[in-house]
Each structure stands twice: as C-alpha cells, then as structure tokens.
Amino acid sequence: MAARVLECPIRAIGSLRVAPLWVIVLGMARGSFDTMVKDAVMEGPSGEARLVGMLGSLRGAEKVMVVAALGDAQGEQGVPALRGLLAARPRSVDLRCAALLALAKRAGAEASDVLAAHLVGVPAAVADYATIGLAAVGDDRAWPQVHARLQRQLGQRPAPVIQPAQIIMGVNQFEVLLTIAYLVRHLGGSPTERIPQLVATMRSGFDRFYRVEQDWLNQHWPGIAPDGPASDQIAPPDPEPFRSLVHATHLFGPVY
C-alpha cells in the first residue's frame, strides 16, 4: 500500500519532508504577504489583533496561512477567533485542519471539546488533525470517541500486503499509531476498564498492523501482542515513546 501524506496542505508548514505546490507558489508570489504575517506574529497582541481582523476579508491559501499563524501568535483574540471559525464549520478542509492545529497549539487541553467534536461527521483529513491535536494536548474527555475511532480504523484497514521498511509519522499509512498515542496517554489513573478495552481492540486487529508497527508496539508495550498475558495483568506503558510519535509529525513547532 502506498504511503499517503496527510491531506491538509498545512501539513507542510512545520515539516521538511513535504512541500505541496501551493506552499512553493505562495512563497514565491506572495512574499510580501508572508512577511507581513510573520511580522504580525512577532509583534505580539497588537499583531494578533491585526491578523484576526483580516480573517473576514481573506480567502483561499492566504486565509489558511493567517489561521495557521494564529497558532503561534500571542494575545486574547486568537483563541476565540479560532473557536468561532471552527464552530461555523467552514467547507474548506485545509482551513479546518489549520484551525484545529492552531487551536490545539494555543489552547492546549482546553481545546479538547472542539477537537473531540471534529472526530466524526467530517472529512477524513479533518478527523486526522483532530486526533493529532488530542494526542498532543487533549484531556481524557474524548477517550470513548477516540477508542471508537481506533476500532473503525482497524476494522476498515486491509491486511498488509506490502510491508514498509520503517515508520514515518505524518503519512496516513501510520495514522492509527497517533490514535493509540492519545489513548495511551490517558490510561494511567484512568477507569480500570480502559486498559482491557484498549488491549482487546489492539489484539483483535493486530494482524492489520504493519510488521514495523507490531515490532514498535511490542517494544514499547510488552505483552500487548495477542499471545500476551491476560489484559488485567498488563500495566500501562510508558507514555513518552507514544508522545514522541506526535512530535515526529513536526506539526507542533512554530510556523515561522
């Protein structure tokens, strides 16, 4: 199965691996606009206010760029503006992805309600970004919804035919690991039924994981394989390696 890069163009802003055409063109043709946005971010609250004020008059890639920049801005207007934009459910997938990521960066765990609301009934790329945001900063309120997402992902995933040589975060081929990363973050001190639920789901679909994923999971969560001990004898894993998967997407660094 060929790797598919996460669909939202905003994916490229924090990554050195992917450069969609519009990013290249925008950088060449709109250098002055890019500089203005960067300067506004660096300016602090007054610059943030200027960016928020522009949102109503912008369209297309320029609006996506400003929304992404709000994830790095400082002030009191950016978070309400991002929440308002997402509440309006814009049709642009790129814009919604950018807003979800920016809100996660700015609001942290307080963005959990909005992120959880974008897990179902939305385009696949939007749900991907909502999950990434939850995996990075979300509190445990979305655990049941994210667990249901994992069940859907494994249920819809065909048994691997081609085995990738390594895990490369940021492509849809490995998106299921980010779903698991969120779930693992909220096992410690959680309701006792969460570990058995997650173990049962992962074991039931273990043959749907690529071999490199199976090896990685066995390394960082010993006993998780179907031939492992009873689920009530399995301790939660160290969440740090799972958290590192989220950082490996290169989505949470500064845009500028």
Task: Give pLDDT tens digits for 190-210.
Answer: 667 899 999 999 999 999 999
- Tell me the DSSP string of the chain: ----B-S-GGGGTT-SS---HHHHHHHHH-HHHHHHHHHHHHH-HHHHHHHHHHGGG--HHHHHHHHHHHTT--SSSHHHHHHHHHHT--S-HHHHHHHHHHHHHHHGGGGHHHHHHTSSSS-HHHHHHHHHHHHHH--GGGHHHHHHHHHHHHHHSPPPSSPPSS--TTBGGGHHHHHHHHHHHTTTTS-TTHHHHHHHHHHHTGGGS-HHHHHHHHHHSTT-STTS--GGGPPPPPHHHHHHHHHTT--SS---
* pLDDT of residue 235 exceeding 50: yes
User: How high is the pLDDT of residue 190?
Assistant: 66
Beta bridge mates, 5: 171
Work out the pLDDT band at 28, boundaries 50, 70, 90: very low
pLDDT band for position 23 (cuts 50, 70, 90): very low
Write out pLDDT tens, residues 104-114: 999 999 999 99
Contact 171, 3 (CB under 8 A): yes
User: Which class for 133: exposed (0-12), middle (13-18), buried (19 or more C-beta within 10 A)?
Assistant: buried
- Reported as a pLDDT band with limits 50, 70 and 90, residue 12 is very low
pLDDT at 2 over 80: no
Domains of the chain (ranges, CATH numbers): 9-247 (1.25.10)
Q: Residue 10: is its pLDDT beyond 80?
A: no
pLDDT over threshold 90, residue 18: no
pLDDT band, residue 173 (cuts 50/70/90): confident
